[in-house]
Amino acid sequence: MPPIPTRTGHTRDHVVWQVSSYDLIALIGIYLTWTADAGGDRLWMVLSQSFRDLSAFCGGLYL
């Protein structure tokens, strides 16, 4: 069994930073979706943002 890490406080800082940055990205996506015009330019921005985030996650997970 691996030893229990002693730097849990430092790890907690990383988790808080990750969650708050994801919240901000989600709020930006919601704002762009709600204020989208008929041309759909902002919807494409949200779609590309989602694709970028998902590819970064999968790239980090599988590579």
Domain ranges, residue 38: 7-60
3-class secondary-structure state, position 32: helix
Confidence (pTM): 0.65
Could you tell me if residue 52 is inside a domain? yes
Number of domains, the chain:
1
Tokens at 53, concatenated:
């985030």
Q: What is the pLDDT of residue 27?
A: 92
Mean pLDDT of 41-45: 88
Is the separation of the CB atoms in 42 and 33 below 8 Å? yes
**CB burial of residue 1 (10 Å; 0-12, 13-18, 19+):** exposed
Average pLDDT for the chain: 84
Could you tell me if residue 55 is inside a domain? yes
pLDDT over 80 (residue 18): yes
User: What is the rounded CA–CA span in Å between residue 58 and residue 18?
Assistant: 16
User: What is the rounded CA–CA span in Å between residue 50 and residue 56?
Assistant: 10
